[in-house]
Structure 1
Amino acid sequence: MVLQDVKPTRSELIQLKRRIKLSESGHKLLKMKRDGLILEFFKILNEARNVRTELDAAYDIAVDKISLACAVNGVVAVKSTAFTTKENPEIELSGHNIMGVFVPKISSTGVRKPLYERGYGIIGTNAYIDETADAYEDLVEKIITAAELETTMKRLLDEIEKTKRRVNALEFKVIPELIETMKFIRFALEEVERESTFRLKRVKARTKT
C-alpha cells in the first residue's frame, strides 16, 4: 500500500482498524487450518508407508508365484489361463471432505474372486495357477489402496502449501502494511490536531491583544 495515496481521515482510520481485525482473524483461522491439515497429512503418511511396504511385498510374492507357475506349466499355459477371465474388476470413484479439501475414495468390486468365478477350469490347471491368481488379486487391491492414499496425500500437500502462502502473506505483508498505514494516518491526524491547536492559540492570543 502506497502511503501517499492514503487519505488521513478518521473514517479511513476506522475502516483500517476493521480490516486489521478481520485480517488477524483470518490469519488465525488459516493457521488453525494449516496445522489441522498437517496433522491429517502425517496420519495418512504413516498409513501410506505401511501400505507401500505391503504393496512391495505383494509385488514380490506375485512375481515369485507367476515365475513358479510358468516354470511348472509353461508360459503359454499361464497366458492362456489369464485370457479366460470373463469379468474385469469394477472401480468406483467417490470422494469425501477433509477440512475443505476434496479427496478421493476408491472402492472396487470383483477384484478377489472365488475359484469357480475366475473363468478357467479346475481341470487342466493346478495349485500354482490358483496361488498366482490369489497373489495378483491381492496385489491389485494393494495398488488401489495405495492410489487412494497417495492421491489424498498429494491433494492435502497442495492445500497445505496454498494455506502456508496465505498465512505468510497475511503475517509478513498484509497485516504489517495495514498497521504501518494506520500509524501513518494517526500521525497525520495528530499533526493536523496540533496545527489546529496552535492556530487556535494564536487566534486567542491576537484576540487578547
Structure 2
Amino acid sequence: MYTITRLENTPPESIQSQIMQRVVDYVTDISMVGIVASNPLYQLYQYGVGHEVHQYLQAMNGSRGFPVELIVALDDEDPSVVIGFLLYLPVQDDPEACAVAYMAVHASQRRRGIARAMLRQMIERYPHAELACFAGKVPYFEAMGFRVLTARGPQVVMNTRDHQTEGLLAVLDVAPIYNSVEVRQIHAYLLKQHGKRAMTDAEKQRDRHLDQMTRQARLMVLERLNQ
C-alpha cells in the first residue's frame, strides 16, 4: 500500500533526489515535447526538464514569490521511498484553483490508483483544477472528472470545470535553462558524439513529432466539444 502526503515547503534532499530520478526516467511523459528515448536530444531534455522541476522544488520555500505545492506517494513498507509525485501551482487571486505542473508514478507501481489518489487530494483542496496532457491521455483524465476545454500546442487543456480560472497563474521562466551554458555544453557533447547530420535529423524528428501531437490535440478537442 501507499500513503499520500502533501508538502508545502521544499522537501528534504532524500525526497528531492527521488523525484528528480522519476523525472529523468519518465521525461517522455513529463516533457511538453514528448521527446522519445531513441532521439539523440533525449539527454538534453532530461537535463532541461529535470532543472525545471528542481527550480520549482526550490521555489517551495517562498523565494520566488509564488506558491508551489507538492504531493508525494510513499511506500508503506518503506516510507522513505517515493513511488509517485504531483507538483502543482495554486492560482493567485482564486483560492479554489490550481494547475498541475508535473506528475509521475514509478512504472512498477502504476495501475494501483496512485495518480488518482494524488489528484483527488489536490482537488479536495483546490476544486477548480487544470492540467494539460497529450491526446492519448484524455480518456484517462476524463475518468477522473476532468473535461476537455481547448488545445495548447501539442497538449489538450483539461479542467474540473467548464471554464478556466480568471486568477493569475505564476510560472517560472524556463527559457534561461535552455539558453544556459550547461545546455550548450550538453548539445556540444551530443554533436560530437552523434555528428551534425544526426543532430539535425533529431531536431527534425522532434519537430515532426510535435506537429503530429499538435494535430492530435486539435482533433481530440474538436471531437470532445462536438459530442
For normalisation by structure 1, the TM-score amounts to 0.25
The structure whose Rg is larger is: 1
For normalisation by structure 2, the TM-score amounts to 0.23
